[in-house]
Amino acid sequence: MRIAYCPTKLTSERCADGALGGAALKKKLKIAIAGVGLVGKRHAASLAQLQESALSAIVDPSEDGSAFAASAGVPCYETLEALFDKNAPDGLVLATPTPLHVGQGLIAIDRGCPVLVEKPLGTTAAEALALVAASETSGVPLLVGHHRRHNPLIQKAHQVISAGDLGELRAVQATCWFYKPDAYFDQAPWRKEKGAGPISVNLVHDIDLLRYLCGEVKTVQALTAPSRRGYANEDVAGAVLGFANGAVGTLTVSDSIAAPWSWELTSREYPIYPPTPESCYLIGGSTGSLSVPDLRLWSHSDGAPDWWTPISASSLTRAASDPLVNQMAHFTSVVRGQTAPLVSGREGLRTLQVIEAIQKAGETGLVQYIKDLQVTEKHKENEGA
């Protein structure tokens, strides 16, 4: 039986009026993490920096999972069912392989437990819709781990664009070029297979940011090229995006180009990547343009756009903090019922739809039209089962 979600479950009085009681605010939330690979461990490190929540358990059947749990001083369970039966958390982070996301997310939502799912939300948009439907019909929060949205520099860019400082958005250009060494593929041979190329593995991050900054994508055209190393997937792709607001986007992605223009190398977000002073996104409007992530805002000196008048840039200031820590703090706030998810399940689903459209357009050469996926009566019936 599904347990209805109430963010006030931390205090009995809160479910009656929806207000957070003092006890609920003071209680440290119990957050469990399923999957302690590289990303799961980063989530645990982020959680350790927060005062209002704490790691309560690990779910991982491997020896590494047990060892990590022991080092963190928390219990380890082999399955989510065992976790909820013995040590039900207030929130769950899923950092497991993508094929497990939907099934495990449904288990959490079935128990009325808010869940933060690593991207992508599922292996396909059609599959992921079942998880989104469960969240939307039950009211149990579902967040997707597009942590770059929580970066202060992206928040600043979003603020500037939303305020109309660029005028009417007309175009965006994104570059996602880097070179992955052969060892990257040899260590995990699945990375050489069809569907595991840079479109699905890397571009999903950039697409989510472009949607957040520039609006919904309605049409996609694309071209891909086969791997020069002989793998089954693509190693370079280009796409033209048609945004709902009339803007046009162009982007290219490759994991076999030696270049300084990618989010990883330009944002300084993750220290394992050597930084460069370049930018990877150019966003153009009718009165100004913005480069990201260096946040240089370009406009003509007299305020009127005119290519015969001087144009100059001002560097925008913004705060600096770890987006993964910010995301975990946000998750805690969502669990408490204090805020809505910045990247909801529906948001993650729409990003996944664009990625699928790029892949299909590259295969067929045909324009792809993106439509909202609806929660059907069948989905609702399944929720009540």
In angstroms, the CA 356 to CA 225 distance is 16
368-369/217-226 β-pairing: antiparallel
In angstroms, the CA 86 to CA 54 distance is 17
φ and ψ at residue 320, rounded to 5 degrees: -130, 125
Q: Give domain status of residue 363, yes or no.
A: no
Instruction: Please indicate, yes or no, whether residues 153 and 270 belong to a single structural domain of this protein.
Output: yes
83: pLDDT strictly greater than 70: yes
177: pLDDT strictly greater than 50: yes
Q: Give domain status of residue 348, yes or no.
A: no
Instruction: Please indicate, yes or no, whether residues 187 and 57 belong to a single structural domain of this protein.
Output: no
Q: For residues 68 and 58, is the Cβ–Cβ distance under 8 A?
A: yes
Instruction: Please indicate, yes or no, whether residues 333 and 251 belong to a single structural domain of this protein.
Output: no
3-state secondary structure of 272: coil
Strand locations in 210-360 (E): 217-226, 234-243, 248-254, 281-285, 289-292, 296-300, 311-315
CATH of the domain at 80: 3.40.50.720
Instruction: Please indicate, yes or no, whether residues 68 and 200 belong to a single structural domain of this protein.
Output: no
Q: Give domain status of residue 356, yes or no.
A: no
Give the domain-ending residue among 309, 333, 356: 309
In angstroms, the CA 35 to CA 61 distance is 9
**Mean pLDDT for the stretch of residues 73-84:** 98
Instruction: Please indicate, yes or no, whether residues 155 and 296 belong to a single structural domain of this protein.
Output: yes
Instruction: Please indicate, yes or no, whether residues 171 and 111 belong to a single structural domain of this protein.
Output: no
Least confident of 187-191, 293-297, 340-344: 187-191
Q: For residues 251 and 134, is the Cβ–Cβ distance under 8 A?
A: no
Give the domain-ending residue among 253, 283, 309: 309
Tokens of 91: 């929130």
Q: Give domain status of residue 2, yes or no.
A: no
Per-residue model confidence as pLDDT tens digits over 112-143 = 999 999 999 999 999 999 999 999 999 999 99
CATH of the domain at 198: 3.30.360.10
In angstroms, the CA 278 to CA 272 distance is 17
Instruction: Please indicate, yes or no, whether residues 141 and 157 belong to a single structural domain of this protein.
Output: no
In angstroms, the CA 61 to CA 97 distance is 13
Q: For residues 203 and 197, is the Cβ–Cβ distance under 8 A?
A: no
Q: Give domain status of residue 367, yes or no.
A: no
Tokens of 31: 């957050």
Q: Give domain status of residue 153, yes or no.
A: yes
Instruction: Please indicate, yes or no, whether residues 139 and 192 belong to a single structural domain of this protein.
Output: no
Instruction: Please indicate, yes or no, whether residues 114 and 175 belong to a single structural domain of this protein.
Output: no
As for how many domains the chain has, the answer is 2
Q: Give domain status of residue 360, yes or no.
A: no
Determine the pLDDT at residue 302. 76
| Contacts for 230 with CB less than 8 Å, ≥ 6 apart | none
Instruction: Please indicate, yes or no, whether residues 125 and 46 belong to a single structural domain of this protein.
Output: yes
Instruction: Please indicate, yes or no, whether residues 107 and 215 belong to a single structural domain of this protein.
Output: no
Q: Give domain status of residue 258, yes or no.
A: yes
How many alpha carbons fall within 13 Å on the CB side of residue 23?
7
Instruction: Please indicate, yes or no, whether residues 167 and 284 belong to a single structural domain of this protein.
Output: yes
Per-residue model confidence as pLDDT tens digits over 337-358 = 999 999 999 999 999 999 999 9
| Contacts for 209 with CB less than 8 Å, ≥ 6 apart | 146, 148, 149, 154, 263, 281
Determine the pLDDT at residue 26. 64
Percent of the chain with pLDDT over 90: 82
Query: Model-level pTM?
Result: 0.90
**Mean pLDDT for the stretch of residues 160-173:** 97
Q: Concatenated DSSP letters for 349-370? A: HHHHHHHHHHHHHHHH---EE-
Give the domain-ending residue among 309, 334, 360: 309
Q: What dihedral angle (degrees, nearest 10) is formed by the CA atoms of 207, 211, 216, 222?
A: -20
Per the DSSP assignment, residues forming a β-bridge with 292 are 281
Determine the pLDDT at residue 383. 55
In angstroms, the CA 78 to CA 340 distance is 31
For residue 193, what are the domain limits?
A: 149-309
Determine the pLDDT at residue 136. 96
